[in-house]
Structure 1
């Protein structure tokens, strides 16, 4: 699955928490999610030179982050399912400073081969 296919596949499963997702799907969606934050903020800093005025580039990261939060959570939960962990492990994110690092390390582990208690991995 390439970058665009992974993003489309994750968005089609907007808020579905059952099933599994691959390492590439997880990383591609996280790259997409954070680029929608970083690129407009960078453009805002360069073009508008830290102006205090509210413009499209200052609102876009907030709006896109809120809209994409359900698929962000669901792809992470499905990735945890692929390594045979319960979706509640997602709440490790709540640990300040190191929570996201722990999740990224756990989600980088290889997935379970074949069928696990969360089903079979669908690769499209």
Structure 2
């Protein structure tokens, strides 16, 4: 959960770099929370729950939109790419597949134009350093 809260602390920070671990743990926890909220929406009979757009899930998605984009941009920076590559997500299917490939790649070693390699920073101090 530390990685999840670390991303939320850097709510709208689009500069710097994010490790694979930071991105994928944030992604995993978002999926788990979204599934739980979908069950709650269905159990409560909230409008739109049957279509996958219940009230709780919709509010959560809107609340997490900016940090999700920010951590994606920082992850792209870690692989040496500009954050504008996130716009590939607007291309149906192919764009998402290309972004998944980029997000799964290892960090560029050492520092790059976006900052120091997060792997070089002590991983025990998650949440104590600013990216």
TM-score normalised to structure 1 length? 0.84
Which deviates the most, 112-121 or 84-93? 112-121
Aligned to 1:79: 75
Q: 1:93 aligns with which of 89, 93, 105?
A: 89
Secondary structure at the aligned position of 2:54 is classed as helix
RMSD over aligned Cα, in angstroms? Answer: 2.1
Query: Structure 1: where are the runs of 5+ without partners?
Result: none
Q: CA deviation at 1:40?
A: 1.8
Aligned to 2:55: 59
Aligned to 1:68: 64
Relative to structure 1, the CA distance from residue 43 to residue 81 in structure 2 (aligned partners, 3 Å threshold; closer, same or farther) is same
TM-score normalised to structure 2 length? 0.79
CA contact (8 A) 2:41 2:56 kept: no
CA contact (8 A) 2:76 2:82 kept: yes
Alpha-carbon distance between aligned partners in 2 of 1:92 and 1:36, rounded to the nearest angstrom: 25
Aligned to 2:129: none
Q: CA deviation at 1:15?
A: 0.4
Aligned to 1:116: 112
1:83-119 CA-to-partner distances (Å, cap 9, x unmatched) read 0000000001001122222111111000011101111
Q: Does 1:34 align with 2:27?
A: no
